[in-house]
Chains A and B, each alone.
Chain A
């Protein structure tokens, strides 16, 4: 269908507006992170930095100096926690997904899985806190890995199940006919076929764990285990007077998920859509 001029203007106007609304806050965050501290306290604001100042990034990425150490240890903890939990969740989710997909495990049970992560974390947090506290496990990366594994597991199971569902079942039957057991078949036949799905599931799981704040806030209290979200909340809560530092931490924490999201956009969007809509 041909568009009239008015329609075209309207269309591109809306598109521009959307682009501005979406990119604006991010752009501003980036600009803040490289503006001179004095630029950020002008009234009204100076939108274009008077000079580019990358010193905050340099400081954050070097171990000497308080901010750098705080940021880098939080980065390490976040990578360990999110990575560890993702690996553990997949390890548990794949057999479970296989049970749901190919061994007639009840869908009600799968939904119960999902229901556990839909509940507010305040439902679980106090008994977990007491238990970890009495085990001396507070403020440990391992603790967060355990909790995040449980948090990622239902969604990972669900996504993997949906992906195993569409694999050709005859290939597995052939493996059984040839005498392979279920474990061998999953490892040698199913997993290689499900590799793209595993990658997508791992990526989404990693992003969810990377984003988690509540449990990390409660279960960690110093450099040895605090993750990035908690560290950022700390930065923002006042110790830092230069807003540019907060902005640069924000930019750095956003880079990994943003790069993953853009690079694997199709993957992620289809995973998201499937994950949120199909039952």
Chain B
């Protein structure tokens, strides 16, 4: 509010954009979230008034929120990544192999993050060097990464119950403060860090410009291909981290790790108000979007509704939110 007053004093002719223009999308996302929550409080009041269900959200939602948040940056540049579930698995396989080979946890941990980052960078390189649509090329790399991982692991999983692993497991997925899962705090941290990168660094500014109008950005000296490669690399880094979190959460590395998380992550990004056309989006929106998706998953079951209806709910919420985006952006253009 005080910011508005300031600029009015300095330049009495200039008026800031209206509340709706600025916050309409965010407002819409929060409304959808609160509306969903109220439905569940009414239809499943027993479950939704006890704290257990919220603790369950805090442990399960981060498994895909940790990837939805960096995916937001890729979508803002006008690209998409479908290979991150496979990156999760390949990176975690790297950890499992290096740990069983050397017995060194931190070497394995860092190697996993490096492999994830390189996989992401490889995606970005294919997209920018050959000019192939990311929608297509990341389907290809998804099979490639998954295939390498399955061949390497020979299709079998690894238990992560070793005593030596207790420390890292506690750090990643332990419970703290009233039993809230640590992955929830990691998700908050990821949101803050990526918010800063997107809104307070030159790279972040270029993410918006790249997705808004690639040619304009290039004419003004933005290296749009480098921007894209970096967003893919960041995605790979977080996919690796999420792979470790998800595996330690169940104390087992499944070679199928990541399957089932793709749609949740993508839905969270669009539900969070990031534009399908690029140029517009927020990581806080994705954060809220993730928890709405998480609530639908849990709420359907707790309400005693047939779980097959989860998909119907998902569909409706996503379609509604994309329509909302279209309507709001039309209003802005007026």
A and B from one assembly? no
Q: Which residues of B contact A (CB under 8 A)?
A: none
Q: Which residues of A contact B (CB under 8 A)?
A: none
